Structure 1
Amino acid sequence: MGLTCTAGVPRAHLSEEHSRTLLSSVLPSMDLYCTVINDSSNDAIGTSLRVETTSHVLFRSITVVVALCGLVGNGVVIWLVRLSIKKNSFCIYNLSLAVADFMHLGLQIVFCVRQILRSFLQYCFHLSSIFMILRFFSYFTGLGIMTAISFQRCLSVLFPIWYRCHCPKHLSAIVSVFLWLLTFLVTILRGHACPQLSLRTTGFCSATVTITNVWILLLLSVMGTSSLLLFLRVRESTQLHLPRKLWLGILLTDLVFFLCGMPLSIIRFLVWEVGNQTLNDICILLSSINSAVNPAIYFFIGRQQPRAPLAGVSREPCVRRQSRGAAPAPPNRDGGPLTGGKCPSGSGDLPAGVTPPGQQEGAPPSQALAE
């Protein structure tokens, strides 16, 4: 059900404050796309509204440019991962994250173009509320996948031997499917309970909002804790010898999310409504930057991947068991004993930054996708 444009209502009978209050009571969690800008006889108020409209169009235009660049970058990531013959766990995560970011950026472009056209043409075209649901869905999914990547990457560095020998083979695929389904159910439930898919607020709305907020706080807490532990482990480690550029790139992904992606979580979900349109525009721009910058980080990491001295650390326990007369060690879960599969990074499921034997230094940028 689309929002009804109020362009046909005489502006003398519908003030901006009244229209905002009316629509915020009906759709409190959605942007006020079809409200009109009241032409006030007061010159000071009129000037303020014109300045606000100009800044609004400027932010939305920049968001469109950033989102277009992000669509290209995430499209390249999806294409490279699909072409890879061998996919390890981080390839699956990066593919899911790229798909979620691609969807999120595409929907951001649609909404931003709508806002720009409305500001210039004073015309608001209808969009089904399902587009808002899909935008929330893509954002929630990206948040969940980012958390899974941070947590699993932290495990691979803190417990490399256990992670190598006991981590389930298809864990990344299972987690990705679970996150997509769970996020879809939560988003649809909230859309039906709260006034997004319908104009009637149900009594279950407050409960779904609470569940959503708890879920977001849980994901942010897990991601923050994992990133902090990974940072401390890499800084204090004398065994992994991770290159400075590499571990900075690894942690940069999470840092960018906390700086650019988290503000949208706060103002859209943890806070029910935002009265400052400029703040809302800034958070949407930052969210688009967060979704667009991940491919750039992958290529930044992949420009130089020097060989790590402990590439065979996770092989050692299997060799010891075999020397004691035990059963032969199982092969690498990605198709061989640490030979660096066919995924763009070629690093299998090794701890982040550990280059497998046989991989040449100075790998091309596409090899960072699995990191």
Structure 2
Amino acid sequence: MEERSTSGDFLSKDSNISTWETTITAPNGSIYNDSPHCDIKFHPTIYLSFVFILVGLTGNAIVIWLLGFRMHRNAFSVYILNLAMADFLFLSFFVTSIFFSIHFLSFLLLLLVQRLTYLSGLSILSAISVERCLSVLWPIWYRCRRPRHTSAVTCALLWALSLLLSLLHGEACGFLFNSIDFFRCRTLNYFTASWLIVLFVVLCVSSLTLLVRIFCGSQRIPVTRLCVIIVLTVLFFLIFGLPLGIYFLLSKWFGNLDYAKICNLNITVSLLSCVNSCANPIIYFFIGSIRHRRFHRKSLKLLLQRALQDTPEEEGGERACPRKTEEHETL
């Protein structure tokens, strides 16, 4: 089986060997095998990741089914639906690349899809935070002047941009074809890293602005379930999802790191990424179940509706614009 650098990518299982092994290619092309050292963490961590993957796939599938086919979609539920799709695809291709023996070229395709889903997931999460921030800072414009299909168009553009970056990176860096353009590959690495930094800054600024308007100032806004969901989702991403982006930046900018340490870092980052993609559905249903005595299969739709509620608990509904009823967006 042809060897390749796993720097910045995900763990894999060599289809030609019968045991799990982490193989790392150093910058000079030599192979660094640290199986005895890495196996200490690799085996238990990979099976722990599998537990989170099963929970995440189930939770995100339920969210996709409810928002896609059982509920009307508003501005924020469109973002939640697309975020669930990104998490579901991320976990699906992650478990495929780890637990199934696949052809080398198929494995490269899986890496591209995983890069796509991570970029799109971070982009959509940033869009959710920005959208909620706009609705707080300019509520009248948001309720009365906001274009009807803003959420759907934004998600489509973010998916397209993430796909374009993934395909260009794969073509220039030898993932899709044998030829490698080192100059274009390095340029795209820096561009992708810059895009990740921009998304992270936008996410942090908009989230902090939302928190300030909730807890500080004379014009504090009431806390709603949707606000709590956004804050918790961003917090979980910063703890569990951001390390993968940082790992990508470090591996691309400092390729001469100690590869023995990178081996363990790769395993840890993979586990954290699974936890991040698994956490969002749990957050939705947990927030929706607060002050709700019943929790069973038939009430999942109700719990998700309550979780996406953007009105204070004591109010019966949000004050609507007199010239515009509640919007229902479709993809």
TM-score, normalisation: structure 2? 0.77
Q: Is the 8 A contact 2:11 2:267 kept in 1?
A: no
The answer to whether the 8 A contact 1:264-1:284 is kept is yes
Fraction of identical pairs, as percent: 33
- How do residues 333-344 of structure 1 correspond to structure 2 at under 5 angstroms? 333-334=326-327
Q: Which has the larger radius of gyration?
A: 1
1:266 aligns with 2:246: yes
Partner of 1:235: 215
SS state at 1:307 partner: coil
Separation of aligned partners in 2, 1:32 and 1:51: 15
| Selected match of 1:107 from 75, 81, 93 | 93
Cα deviation, residue 156, structure 1: 1.3
Compute the RMSD of aligned alpha carbons: 2.8
**Gap change, CA 1:125 and 1:174, over 3 Å in 2:** closer
Structure 2 runs not aligned, ≥5 long: 23-33, 291-305, 307-311
Between the aligned partners of 1:278 and 1:185, the Cα distance in structure 2 is 31
> 1:346 matched to which residue of 2?
none
Name the SS for the 1:195 alignment partner: coil
Instruction: Determine the C-alpha separation between the residues in 2 that align with 1:100 and 1:81.
Output: 14
Q: Are the aligned partners of 2:213 and 2:220 in contact in 1 as well (CA < 8 Å)?
A: no
Greater RCO, 1 or 2 (C-alpha within 8 Å, sep 6+): 2
- The aligned length equals 285
In the alignment, does 2:38 pair up with 1:52? yes
* Alpha carbons of structure 1 residues 109 and 97: separation in structure 2 relative to 1, 3 Å: same
Q: Distance in 1 between matches of 2:11 and 2:63?
A: 34
Kindly tell me: are residues 260 and 240 of structure 1, through their superposed partners in 2, closer, same or farther at Cα, counting changes over 3 Å? same
Shift of the 83–310 alpha-carbon distance from structure 1 to 2, 3 Å rule, reads closer
Q: Where does residue 198 of structure 2 map in the other structure?
A: 218
Aligned mates of 2:318, 2:63 — CA distance in 1:
28
Which of residues 299, 304, 312 is equivalent to 2:285?
299
Query: How far apart are residue 308 of structure 1 and its match?
Result: 4.2
TM-aligned CA distance change 1:32 to 1:307, over 3 Å: closer
Instruction: Give the equivalent residue in structure 2 for 1:187.
Output: 166
State the alpha-carbon separation in 2 of the partners of residues 309 and 80 from structure 1: 25
Asked if 2 retains the 8 angstrom alpha-carbon contact of 1:64 and 1:112, the reply is: no
Letter matched to residue 150 of structure 1? S
Secondary structure (helix, strand or coil) at the match of 1:204 reads: helix
Answering whether residue 323 of structure 2 is matched by residue 330 of structure 1, we say: yes
Partner of 1:175: 154
Q: Which amino acid aligns with 1:148?
A: A
* Paired position in structure 2 for 1:135: 114
- Who is 1:277 aligned against? 263
**Kept in 2: contact 1:169–1:333 (CA 8 A):** no
How far 1:112 moved relative to its partner?
2.5
